[in-house]
């Protein structure tokens, strides 16, 4: 029996729509692991312990409510402020109490490209002390390392020696593939918050969300060009009042793009993270760039970071002198 032409058309149209819907839902099964650096807080030098505790509780509360697994990377130097050591350690402890994991980000946020291999290795070891004490009763171990400034070495020998050192100490390097420079927005936000400038805070948040959305779109396209598909991505964020107040909205930006949240361990299972990578350079960068440059491709078309945020940050530095961190001692 022949199918009546009309019904046939309907069936064809339906199967077309179903396959489109199918393709879309397949395409939109994106996965991302969230990582947060510079614990207990990026601006720990300028914040009292009470503020660090408050922002930590707010940040972790949102992440726990939204069931988003996170690894936080610690700079233990930020714990040592006279009279506040106990409270600062407690803020770190909260990450574990809330069910999150901690990794090492060196003692004082040392760049492998600046301090040299030996000093940098000492930084890694010194960055383990308190974190190990907090992890031990939970039968947990430090297993992830994140390079400060994403600086992985200026030459291949240093890079491979540093990596061999990390492996020997039981670390897996935690690469990143998504990075919208939230720390840059966070500095300006912190200042606006301190001055109760709510209009500026809102403007910063709007820009921060829009810029991250653009970076995600760009990184997805770069992924396909470089990896051949969109791997399980790894997002880099920083512990700050900006994230404490607005990370939920940023997670919504990711959800709208079709992402679900996975552990770092799960993300690292993606074979993309064993792609050839011989990137070296003065400037640290994300792993999509590493792979692209290794393949002889120059990543192009990255979203431009909003100039007014850079300008305001510079102005702030000139007028208040509080934007740059104090020189390392
Ligand atoms: Zn950092």
Contacts of 181-185 spanning 24+ positions with Cβ under 8 A: 181/211, 181/305, 182/208, 182/212, 182/236, 182/237, 182/238, 182/240, 182/242, 182/243, 182/250, 183/38, 183/42, 183/238, 183/240, 184/305, 184/309, 184/310, 184/313, 185/211, 185/242, 185/309
Q: Ligand 1 center to residue 155 CA distance, Å?
A: 21
Pair of tokens at residue 267: 């993300």
Q: Ligand 1 center to residue 239 CA distance, Å?
A: 9
Residue with tokens 């996170």: 70
C-alpha to C-alpha distance for 276 and 293, rounded to whole angstroms: 10
C-alpha to C-alpha distance for 285 and 147, rounded to whole angstroms: 10
Q: Ligand 1 center to residue 18 CA distance, Å?
A: 45
Mind listing the pLDDT tens digit for each residue in 125-139?
999 999 999 999 999
Query: For position 317, what pLDDT does the model report?
Result: 74
Q: Ligand 1 center to residue 183 CA distance, Å?
A: 9
Q: Ligand 1 center to residue 262 CA distance, Å?
A: 21
Residue in 266, 264, 265, 292 with CA at minimum distance from that of residue 277: 292
Pair of tokens at residue 315: 């102005």
Query: For position 1, what pLDDT does the model report?
Result: 43
Q: Ligand 1 center to residue 6 CA distance, Å?
A: 62
In the predicted model, residues of the chain with pLDDT beneath 50 are 1-3, 11-12, 17-18, 20-25, 320-329
Pair of tokens at residue 18: 């179903």
DSSP 8-class letter at 4: P
**Would you tell me how many other CB atoms lie within 10 Å of the CB of residue 218?**
18
Q: Ligand 1 center to residue 223 CA distance, Å?
A: 24
Contacts (Cβ under 8 Å, ≥6 apart) of 102: 39, 71, 72, 73, 74, 92, 95, 96, 131, 134, 135, 142
Q: What is the DSSP string of 34-99?
A: EEEEEES-TTTTTS-HHHHHHHHHHHHHHHHHTT--EEEEE-GGGG--TTTHHHHHHHHHHHHHTT
Query: For position 28, what pLDDT does the model report?
Result: 76
Q: Ligand 1 center to residue 17 CA distance, Å?
A: 46
Query: For position 8, what pLDDT does the model report?
Result: 53
**C-beta of residue 174 within 8 angstroms of C-beta of residue 230:** no
Query: For position 27, what pLDDT does the model report?
Result: 60
DSSP 8-class letter at 240: S
Pair of tokens at residue 296: 């002889």
Query: For position 316, what pLDDT does the model report?
Result: 84
Q: Ligand 1 center to residue 217 CA distance, Å?
A: 24
Q: Ligand 1 center to residue 48 CA distance, Å?
A: 20
**Would you tell me how many other CB atoms lie within 10 Å of the CB of residue 104?**
26
Q: Ligand 1 center to residue 49 CA distance, Å?
A: 19
Q: How far is CA 156 from the centre of its chain?
A: 24
């Amino acid at each position: 029996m022949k199918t009546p032409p009309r019904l046939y058309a309907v069936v064809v149209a339906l199967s077309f729509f179903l396959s489109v819907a199918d393709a879309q839902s397949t395409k939109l099964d994106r996965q991302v692991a969230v990582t947060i650096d510079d614990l207990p807080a990026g601006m720990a030098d300028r914040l009292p312990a009470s503020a660090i505790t408050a922002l930590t509780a707010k940040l972790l509360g949102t992440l726990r409510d939204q069931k988003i697994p996170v690894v936080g990377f610690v700079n233990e130097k930020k714990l040592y402020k006279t009279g506040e050591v106990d409270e600062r350690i407690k803020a770190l402890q909260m990450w574990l109490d809330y069910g999150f994991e901690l990794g090492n980000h060196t003692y004082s946020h040392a760049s492998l490209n600046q301090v040299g291999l030996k000093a940098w290795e000492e930084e890694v070891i010194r960055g383990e002390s308190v974190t190990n004490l907090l992890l031990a009763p939970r039968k947990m171990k430090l297993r992830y390392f994140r390079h400060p400034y994403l600086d992985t070495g200026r030459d291949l020998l240093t890079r491979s020696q540093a990596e061999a050192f990390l492996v020997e100490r039981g670390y897996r390097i935690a690469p990143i593939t998504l990075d919208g420079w939230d720390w840059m927005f966070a500095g300006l936000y912190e200042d606006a918050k301190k001055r109760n400038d709510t209009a500026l805070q809102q403007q910063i948040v709007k820009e921060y969300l829009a810029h991250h959305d653009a970076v995600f779109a760009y990184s997805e396209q770069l992924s396909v060009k470089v990896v051949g598909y969109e791997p399980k991505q790894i997002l880099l964020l920083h512990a700050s009042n900006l994230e404490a107040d607005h990370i939920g909205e940023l997670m919504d930006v990711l959800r709208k793009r079709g992402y679900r949240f996975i552990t770092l361990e799960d993300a690292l299972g993606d074979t993309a993270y064993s792609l050839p990578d011989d990137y070296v350079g003065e400037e640290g960068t994300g792993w999509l760039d590493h792979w692209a440059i290794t393949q002889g491709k120059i990543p192009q078309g990255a979203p431009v970071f909003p100039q007014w945020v850079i300008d305001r940050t510079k102005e702030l530095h000139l007028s208040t002198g509080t934007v740059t961190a104090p020189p390392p001692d």
